[in-house]
Structure 1
């Protein structure tokens, strides 16, 4: 009897591979180690961030930042060919998240609503061309502005008009200001001292044309107002003291006049009393001499 042949193994059908979408990169860099163009650029950037934060303080659904990466695609991460704007604002987002940068796929696909680039001779071409195209075509950022902190006439801005096919340049008003419809704020030039640097600065203004103050300016303004109130109170107190002193002096003068009148009346009383006594003595003397005083009065 021939030995029993072992059964041939049943070929196994490979299980269908389960497709999983590629995960977004996690090894993101948030600091390129490249400093800003100048100290004035740094101050100008922080001034925009702080004043915008002040202007939006009553809201709880915004984020403002600057000089930080905006990650929007894996290709961008691989090539590292894009750096974040100097200032940007995003509205309608979670406010209090601790963000090292703006990662679009972690922000429900949200891109900045407003971007400001602080240009320099070395970045102007990129800001006005490649970056502008990214903000217009990829970010679809409604408001984009550029400004060179060393050129007061360099402010330009664009608003995204989808019906017109893209960015349309904004016309400045008679002051040279540009309107941001997203922030409901003006962007314009202000002259003054910031961190001991006296020059012109790009600033936000509210719809009524009032300068939007950053926290340090607000604190200084409040301190000045408190000082003015204290000085006004001191002046009012001094005026009250002077009025009280004047009243005291008038009362003293009235007292002195009353005292003088009293003394004068007393003197007149004493004089009258002396006259009366002299008359009484004279009448008594005449009576001793047997002379009727009336005969002397009517000779």
Structure 2
């Protein structure tokens, strides 16, 4: 009897090199209209709350680059966050991002689930590489989020001992994202005439981070309430024979 010994898989040789100017980036269409909307809503809430700083890089369907065993590999997550990147010239359009070369490591990646080959939970360790393998073993992203808006189902994996570990939601069904110091959870409602299961942020105290349109509406309601109070006060003064217009 011959003992079968499984081959030892070599650790990939990863280097961080600039993407060649003539490299043709994939231009695959998103798989459904909700992907862009979900990503835009996440970024909009951060911007509205003042969380986005000039040195950060937040993107959607944007190429993250690594050279593995002398082969350029590009993955374009549905949403990602890098805390600090090098600035580029005003007239330069950033085509992609190579961590450790252009700035800090990617801190958070999100993928909205699909049924495609080499998908969001694939651990394929050969080209074209599964996304989970790429984020866990190559980029070593600390927090990897996968979301299915149709279930809806939200999973958060954090890198522990070089492997992803599924995290448990809190009593509100939300997950703490340490890199942003915010909670992430599911919220069903309407944004821009689209009703669905959105991913949303909450702060440490449990306050929902509002979208820009919600903040505008909140300010409109506050101004309307102030106007109504002023009108009531003016009416009472007139009942007392006092002209409110003469008061300073």
TM-score by length of 1: 0.64
Matches within 5 A, 1:128-167: 128-129=121-122, 130-152=130-152, 154-162=153-161, 165-167=162-164
CA distance in 1, matches of 2:178, 2:59: 19
Q: Which has the higher helix share?
A: 1
Equivalent residue number for residue 297 of structure 1: none
TM-score by length of 2: 0.76
2:80 aligned with 1:88, yes or no?
yes
1:232-291, Cα deviation, whole Å (9 max, x unpaired): 32233233333447xxxxxxxxxxxxxxxxxxxxxxxxxxxxxxxxxxxxxxxxxxxxxx
Structure 1 contact 53–64 (Cα < 8 Å) conserved:
no
1:176 Cα offset (Å): 1.2
2:23 aligned with 1:28, yes or no?
yes
**Tell me, which stretches of 5 or more residues in structure 1 are unaligned?**
1-21, 246-299
Structure 1 contact 63–95 (Cα < 8 Å) conserved:
no
Question: 1:190–1:29: structure 2 CA closer, same or farther, 3 Å change rule?
Answer: same
Structure 2 contact 99–106 (Cα < 8 Å) conserved:
no
Whichever of the two has the greater Rg, that structure is 1
Equivalent residue number for residue 202 of structure 2: 205
Equivalent residues, number: 215
Relative contact order, higher structure (CA 8 A, sep 6+): 2
Misfit runs of 4+, over 6 Å: none
Equivalent residue number for residue 239 of structure 2: 242
CA distance in 2, matches of 1:117, 1:106: 24
2:165 aligned with 1:173, yes or no?
no
1:58 Cα offset (Å): 6.3
Structure 2 contact 60–77 (Cα < 8 Å) conserved:
yes
2:117 aligned with 1:118, yes or no?
no
CA RMSD of aligned residues (A): 2.6
